[in-house]
Chain A
Amino acid sequence: MLACGRGVDTELVIRAQGGDKGAYGLVVTEVADRYLAVARRILRDIDLAEDATQQALLAIWQDLPQLRDPALFDAWSYRLLVRACYAEGRKQRRWAPNLRLLPVDRPVADDGLSSVVDRDQLERGFRRLSLDHRTVVVLHHYLDLPLERVAEICGIPVGTAHSRLHHAMRVLQAALDADSRPAAREVI
């Protein structure tokens, strides 16, 4: 379970709503790493993710007075983060690099993600997904948010969230299956 469930101190949110920059600074410090992680996973680009995170944090500050229930800060702020990701994602729509990430120093997980190739295939499959689909996957499978909350954050019906998740997982399954290979590896 990731930090999403921890939530931001409501008192800090209330103080920030009142214009307390120091309080909002603490909120930013609390959430920024997590937001960057989410943005990076949606956008698959650290530069775009940093920009999206920055834009989201600034938008949150600007719009915070409009938040009626400070207890709902998490869901509300994720919505702004997702919106910022969409805005940044637009910038790489065409002629943008189709980056292929190859983690080299990462430990090999013992849970089916058994090779760099798997990760490469997942990366490739994930990049084929639209931002709509990526967002649902990340919010649900990375942040462990139930689809009802995912739908709320994305501003879509729950059924649509289910549909997007289903489609996305099919694409990722296809990406993995497309790369199934004999166990024996070739030696140069």
Chain B
Amino acid sequence: MHTEGDVTRIVRSWLRTDEHESAERVIADVLALLDTATAPVLVARAEDRRRVNMFAKLAIAAAAVAVLAVVGINALPSSNLVGGPPASTSPSLASTPPEAAATPTYSEILPGSFIIPWQQLQIHLTMPAGWGSFFDGTGIEKIPRDGLDPKMSLWVNDVTYVATDVCGGRPNEGLVKVGPRVEDLTTALANQVGIQRSGPTDEVLGGYPAKRFVLTQPTGCSGTEGRQIWANGPMTGGLGLWLVDGATATIHVVDVKGHRLVIASADRGSPAEDVVQLNGIVASIDIEGRVVPLAVGRHSLTVDGVPFSFSVSTHTDDGWADYGGVSINKSISGPQTAEGIIYWTGFPDGAHTDPCGQMLRLQVGSSAADVAEAVAIAPGIELVERPSDVTVGGRPAKHVVVIVREDVGCDPGYFFSWYETRGGPFWGRTYPGDTINVWIVDVDGTRLFIASEIHRDDYPGASGPDVLTETEKTRLDRLEQEIQQIVDSIRFE
């Protein structure tokens, strides 16, 4: 247990580590611009300065990505993976988070399907019990029975640099850039020295051809700090795959219609039954659901057995994209964002408005009214519109609107993770300032849960220095209108 003084001292020390920033590139760009421009316009994005290839750029921009996994004693998340506060056994209707909220924990994945969104793909996994999500749901780890470090994980990678000699030279040096193609990486891995390797072996993963490598770090090379096999994203970020002595990584380099997908799993001495589980998870992988821009017009889908359709009226080049039927998203400020999301799921009876995954679970009744009330009193929010009776697609529904006011420490997601019947705590992230509209529609006894989320920095009560331009405000206003139009356009078949 750390005292307040301990924490202050540790945080201050931590902030002062790695003080080696050099702004040479920034200075050069700024000075060049001073000579040529009268208005401050970015002449080079950081990615351009670093000459990160397009694949990496897209990876950084568009996906929730697990970019570091070190199978080492000191490196993996530890006991906080184990559970966290138990689910409340009584209704918690407090408008402020319970004390437990101050202790962020990873979410244990409930057995069933789990989706890892990756660039324009979705990786579906079938999960057994006893696993947790990490990196905002973009990777998984076996929750250790002993409460110590996890020994087994699986995640998706954005490989940009590969070590030529894992064990030679100084630790973690000698990385060379690797191209974006499947063969670029497989060749680099096949030529890598200083590591025990088998492969490449042909395989099929998720319905696509793949190459598999199994890498084992020889003892006496890396000790407990680990040696870097590759880097994800910028090389200087210290991110990527690292292995400690005796650890093993299995690499799947998948060719998804010319698009390289790298899935890695790592293990350092897990029990045999855990290995069996991991193999089962890998075997369950299904790769699908490319993000598809939605054409103007009507689109149909079925959620939890409920068929319905909705209309999109904006142009495709500035429009909504379908994320595998789980949600439709729209970005109005570039590929790194999705300022507007409409998300839909069914929910069987039980607690499926599940703020913070299992951390702040509310015991919610099964009726639409119960769910709406639960949303209205969720921790960290301000109620904007109380639950009211509306109709969606001609069916009775409850509607409630909230604004996220406080980061209550959910993980994954900063505020709220809706339980997704097809994929666990799927909802990406919510932030203070997000406006969430929820409609719970009763369709012949089946309840359909529809939520939209939009972020604005000028939300009422915002106290930071952020200011939206008039153009941004106009675009956000229009986005809000589009969301309402889409919901209004819903028809049940």
Contact = CB atoms under 8 A, between A and B. Distances in A.
B21 A37 contact: yes
A179 B82 CA distance: 10
A9 interface: no
A79 B464 CA distance: 11
A28 B33 contact: no
Nearest to B15: A142
Interface string A57-88: 11101100000000000000001001100110
B455 interface: yes
A20 to B, nearest CB: 11
If over half of A's interface residues share one DSSP class (helix, strand or loop), that class is named, otherwise mixed; here it is helix
B11 A156 contact: no
A94 B432 contact: no
Contact of A32 (B27, B74, B334): B27
Contact of A57 (B7, B26, B117): B26
Interface string B6-44: 111111111111110111011101110111000111100
A106 interface: yes
B115 interface: no
Given A86-B457, A119-B17, A50 B25 contact: yes
A104 B80 CA distance: 22
B42 A54 contact: yes
B411 interface: yes
Q: How large is the interface on B (under 10, 10 to 19, 20 to 34, 35 or more residues)?
A: 35 or more
Contact of A178 (B17, B104, B226): B104
Nearest to A112: B10
Given A93-B429, A155-B465, A188-B245, A54 B26 contact: yes
Nearest to A123: B14
A188 B117 CA distance: 33
B131 interface: no
A188 B10 contact: no
Nearest to A125: B104
Contacts of B138: 97-98
A21 B105 CA distance: 50
Interface in A117-171: 117-122, 124-125, 128-133, 135, 137-138, 141-142, 154-157, 160, 169-171
Contact of B75 (A95, A102, A138, A188): A102
Given A50-B46, A102-B242, A178 B79 contact: yes
Interface in B266-318: 268-269
A97 B64 contact: yes
Contacts of B64: 95-98
A132 B432 contact: yes
Interface string B58-91: 0010111111101001110111100000000000
Contacts of A109: 13, 17
B464 A155 contact: yes
A111 B9 contact: yes
A132 B333 CA distance: 21
Contacts of B234: 46-47
B2 A177 contact: yes
Contact of B68 (A35, A102, A115, A128): A102
B68 A99 contact: yes
Contact of A112 (B9, B35, B147): B9
A13 interface: no
Contacts of A86: 457, 464-466
Interface in B154-187: 158, 171-172
A165 B50 CA distance: 34
A105 B171 CA distance: 8
A90 B459 CA distance: 14
A93 B455 contact: yes
A133 B432 CA distance: 11
A120 B34 contact: no
Contacts of A125: 104
A7 B268 CA distance: 51
A156 B138 CA distance: 35
B13 A25 contact: no
A162 B391 CA distance: 45
B46 A47 contact: yes
A120 B242 CA distance: 15
Nearest to A154: B465
Nearest to B64: A95
A91 B25 CA distance: 21
B388 interface: no
Given A54-B42, A160-B463, 7 more contacts: A25-B31, A83-B467, A90-B333, A96-B336, A112-B9, A117-B74, A181-B79
Interface of A: 21, 24-25, 28-29, 32-33, 35-37, 40-41, 46-51, 53-55, 57-59, 61-62, 79, 82-83, 86-87, 90-106, 109, 111-113, 115-122, 124-125, 128-133, 135, 137-138, 141-142, 154-157, 160, 169-182, 185-188
11 contacts: A28-B27, A32-B30, A47-B45, A50-B25, A93-B337, A95-B62, A100-B67, A102-B238, A174-B102, A176-B2, A178-B105
Interface of B: 1-2, 4, 6-19, 21-23, 25-27, 29-31, 33-35, 39-42, 45-47, 49-50, 60, 62-68, 70, 73-75, 77-80, 102-105, 117, 135-136, 138, 147-149, 158, 171-172, 225-226, 228, 233-234, 236-239, 242, 244-247, 268-269, 329, 333-334, 336-339, 341, 407, 409, 411-412, 414, 428-429, 431-432, 455, 457, 463-467
Closest 10 pairs (CB-CB, A-B):
A58-B40, A47-B46, A32-B23, A178-B80, A116-B74, A36-B23, A97-B65, A174-B103, A142-B15, A86-B466
